[in-house]
Amino acid sequence: MYKLHSTCRACGAKSLLPVIDFGFQPLANDFQAAADARAGAAPLKVLYCPACTLAQLSVVVDPAVLYSNYPYVTSPSQTMLDHFASLLRDLEEERGGTLGKVLEIGSNDGALLKFLESNAESVTGVDPAANLVELAEAKGIQTHRTNWCSAVADLLDCTYDTIIARHVFAHCDDWWDFIKALHLVSHANTVVAIEVPYAGDLLDKNQFDTIYHEHLSYVNLRAVNSLLLETPFYLAKVIRYPIHGGAMLLILRWRTAGAVPVPSDSIDSERWRNLNGRAREMMQSLRSMVKVLGGSKSYRVCGYGASAKSTIWLNGCGFTHQDLAFVHDVTPQKQGKLCPGTDIPIIGDRASLETCTHAVLFAWNFAAEIIAKEEPLRRQGLKFIVPVPELKIIE
Ligand code: TMP
Ligand code: ZN
């Protein structure tokens, strides 16, 4: 199901240092019904490259196992719509006008392309998940069902004015081929926009729960500049966004004479090692809190948001349905399934939520929106427990 990966994906260095080790863990999005087989576990270990400061997983799980049928659907939340509006504004500014012909790599259910459609000459998606391509096509978004690679780019036989890849670059094993494929479908004025979580935010805000098998790399600018050094692209601009706890949009352009890349940052290995210790403390704190609450007959605790991040918490804390009665989630693809590695069911109905006194907010990246939305339930007494960046009960 997985293979070992011991050379740096960005600069090719061979001597990588182990900085985080969470042992064997289930796949974070392996939501299955109780009667169905699960994919199993794989090592979750982070290696650090002293040469370019990239952090990456020690293994690569077979993408066919991870992505053929993918339960993560781009959230239809207001937070995401606001983000799409920011992206559109920033991309138009980069282009100096309309978006032209748009290609999105990892286009999920077509939500972003649908949003951009009226501002573009054409929109085309590429995504490997059959279930998501079906949803995109139902919205009228033309989508090629495949992983992104140079062989696919060759077949497209077309160039695009704007190329977007949101939260897919960190999922990609072969960055050289990814960049080669971008070159095949771009022209001298193409704006390539790659959105990735920023490793600095992960470290600063204790987001260790975003470390899971799909996220092969934890990206910073020095690593990106190292990677691009031998390619036709350079890092022309970086735009920061608050989405998903802190992301950056890497604007890549064809290198021209005199092009100056965005200056590199650098992340030292000690910061990663510190996070390893902090993750254990944070899991112990949540575990103690939930056990104390569960020990009292007056309280009933559930989870809120069956995010991939929730899998890391639930398995790290060793929670069962005795600890958390269920995890509430609005995603139809997840409802009726179990949280990976556990016996905790995912339930979408409001009545169950109303029976709880406390909900651990595993979708903490949507905290402001969810806490505001659930104001009526909070007035009835529901308290949110927010685990990141620090364990906190919202009274
Ligand atoms: P994500 O953090 O990986 O985007 O996952 C968030 C999960 O939370 C996703 O499964 C959808 C769910 N969710 C809700 O159940 N209710 C909500 O209001 C929001 C914003 C998300
Ligand atoms: Zn490196």
**Looking at ligand 1, which residue's alpha carbon is closest to its atom 12?**
305
The per-residue pLDDT for 75 is 75
The per-residue pLDDT for 310 is 98
Ligand 1 in contact with 363 (CB < 6 A)? yes
Secondary structure E strands in the chain: 2-4, 17-26, 41-48, 55-57, 59-61, 101-105, 122-127, 143-145, 162-166, 191-197, 217-218, 233-241, 247-254, 301-304, 327-328, 346-347, 358-361, 383-386, 392-394
For the chain, percent of residues with pLDDT exceeding 70 = 100
The pLDDT of 196-206, averaged and rounded, is 97
Q: Render pLDDT for 235-254 as a digit per residue (tens, 0 to 9).
A: 999 999 999 999 999 999 99
Query: What is the 7 CA–ligand 2 centroid distance (Å)?
Result: 8
- How much is the mean pLDDT over the chain? 96
The ligand whose atoms approach the alpha carbon of 330 most closely is: 1
Mutate-to-test residue for ligand 1 from 366, 371, 377, 386, highest number of ligand atoms within 8 A of CB: 366
194 residue type, one letter? I
Bridge partners, residue 359, by sequence:
302, 384
Helix (H, G, I), strand (E, B) or coil at 302: strand
> Residue 288: is its pLDDT beyond 80?
yes
Q: Pairing between strand 59-61 and 2-4? A: antiparallel
The pLDDT of 8-20, averaged and rounded, is 98
Contact 328, 305 (CB under 8 A): yes
Q: Render pLDDT for 17-75 as a digit per residue (tens, 0 to 9).
A: 999 999 999 999 999 999 999 999 999 999 999 999 999 999 999 999 998 888 788 87
Bridge partners, residue 234, by sequence:
253
> Residue 152: is its pLDDT beyond 90?
yes
Q: Which two tokens stand for residue 235?
A: 């890092």
Q: Which two tokens stand for residue 369?
A: 């929106």
> Residue 392: is its pLDDT beyond 80?
yes
Ligand 1 in contact with 77 (CB < 6 A)? yes
Query: What is the 306 CA–ligand 1 centroid distance (Å)?
Result: 7
Best CA proximity match to 314, nearest among 290, 348, 350 = 290
Contacts of 372 (CB under 8 A, 6+ apart): none
Q: 195: pLDDT confidence band, cut at 50, 70 and 90?
A: very high
Contact 181, 126 (CB under 8 A): no
**Looking at ligand 1, which residue's alpha carbon is closest to its atom 5?**
307
The per-residue pLDDT for 68 is 81
Ligand 1 in contact with 306 (CB < 6 A)? yes
Q: How far is CA 112 from CA 6, 73, 100, 169, in A?
A: 35, 11, 15, 17
The pLDDT of 83-97, averaged and rounded, is 97
- DSSP code of residue 55: E
> Residue 382: is its pLDDT beyond 80?
yes
The ligand whose atoms approach the alpha carbon of 373 most closely is: 1
Ligand 1 in contact with 26 (CB < 6 A)? no
Query: Which atom belonging to ligand 1 lies closest to the Cα atom of 370?
Result: 18
Residue 10: CA count within 13 A, CB half-sphere: 28
**Looking at ligand 1, which residue's alpha carbon is closest to its atom 1?**
307
Mutate-to-test residue for ligand 1 from 27, 75, 360, highest number of ligand atoms within 8 A of CB: 75
> Residue 348: is its pLDDT beyond 90?
yes
The pLDDT of 269-283, averaged and rounded, is 98
Query: What is the 234 CA–ligand 2 centroid distance (Å)?
Result: 17
Element at 204 (helix H, strand E):
helix 199-204
The pLDDT of 283-305, averaged and rounded, is 97
Ligand 1 in contact with 365 (CB < 6 A)? yes
Query: What is the 274 CA–ligand 2 centroid distance (Å)?
Result: 20
Contact 386, 364 (CB under 8 A): yes
Query: What is the 19 CA–ligand 1 centroid distance (Å)?
Result: 29
Between 69 and 10, the higher pLDDT residue: 10
Ligand 1 in contact with 366 (CB < 6 A)? yes
The ligand whose atoms approach the alpha carbon of 349 most closely is: 1
Query: What is the 18 CA–ligand 2 centroid distance (Å)?
Result: 13
The pLDDT of 336-341, averaged and rounded, is 98
For the chain, percent of residues with pLDDT exceeding 90 = 96
Round to whole Å and give the CA distance between 297 and 322.
13
Best CA proximity match to 305, nearest among 266, 243, 353, 262 = 353
* CB neighbours of residue 268 within 10 Å: 10
The pLDDT of 277-299, averaged and rounded, is 97
Q: Which two tokens stand for residue 17?
A: 């240092």
The ligand whose atoms approach the alpha carbon of 267 most closely is: 2
The per-residue pLDDT for 76 is 80
The per-residue pLDDT for 35 is 97
Q: 178: pLDDT confidence band, cut at 50, 70 and 90?
A: very high
Alpha helices (H) in 233-329, listed in sequence order: 269-294, 308-317
The per-residue pLDDT for 70 is 84
The per-residue pLDDT for 71 is 79
Query: Which atom belonging to ligand 1 lies closest to the Cα atom of 373?
Result: 18
Round to whole Å and give the CA distance between 205 and 365.
11
